Amino acid sequence: MTTIGWFDAEAGASGDMMLGALVSAGVPLDVPQTAIDALDIGVRLREEAVQRGSLGSLKVHVEVPETRTVRHLPEILTMFEALPTAVAELAGAVFTRLAQAEAAVHQMPLEQVHFHEVGALDSIADIVGSAASIVHLDLDRIVCSTLSLGSGHARGAHGPLPVPVPAVLELTRGVAPVQAGPAPYESTTPTGAALLVTIADAWGPMPAMQIDRIGMGAGTKDTDAVANILRIVIGEAA
């Protein structure tokens, strides 16, 4: 049988929402934590049952130490050599996509890209933890819905940015179906977009399946504009 994972990204996606969805779907928290521990960066994960809108969901908090470190892609890929091969390859592919998007947005060579927001410890933890969790699930096929990007404005390391932020548009360009809204904030972050465009085999509505597990990963904001949740539905292809 073919095991399918379908992501419902109607409310958008971020790294912590991805972690929450995967852990809520049955991945033990020790799986992403062990992978993060291999990097020796001092990051701890903590799970909390919360509500977003009227729905129960899981929030994975990424607790990071203070740091001012700015990293480049080669340094990050070297860090990943401490990980199991499959996890290192997936996490490396995600960060390479991020670097390529940032290089395009800032019109600079790939090797000169400085990782500020996306290179911060919490994003490294989000990506490595999510990669370890995806490898743990061993899904045969991953499908994602249309990705909601949000609207309005956000603030990055270099100042204010329009939402959808340029890196997210670049990451999804030619790859993923996207839409604005539904909430007036940054619904999809560069980390969330990079994860989904890397792992998704196809985009569209939920495929025909016999549902086995459902994961509900909570975002930070709780708003009446949308239930701020990234869902994963796992089952066998019908």
**HSE-CB of 115 using CA atoms within 13 angstroms:** 27
pLDDT tens readout for residues 69-92 = 778 889 899 999 999 999 999 999
Query: Residue 185 pLDDT more than 80?
Result: yes
Give the model's pLDDT for residue 133.
98
DSSP 183: S
Among 77, 55, 63, 73, smallest CA distance to 10 is for 55
Number of domains in the chain: 1
Burial class (CB in 10 A: 0-12, 13-18, 19+), 208: exposed
Query: Residue 118 pLDDT more than 70?
Result: no
Residue 119 — pLDDT band, cuts 50, 70, 90? low
- Show the domain range for 207: 3-237
DSSP 110: G
DSSP 205: S
pLDDT tens readout for residues 44-56 = 999 999 999 999 9
Global confidence as pTM: 0.95
pLDDT tens readout for residues 137-157 = 999 999 999 999 999 887 766
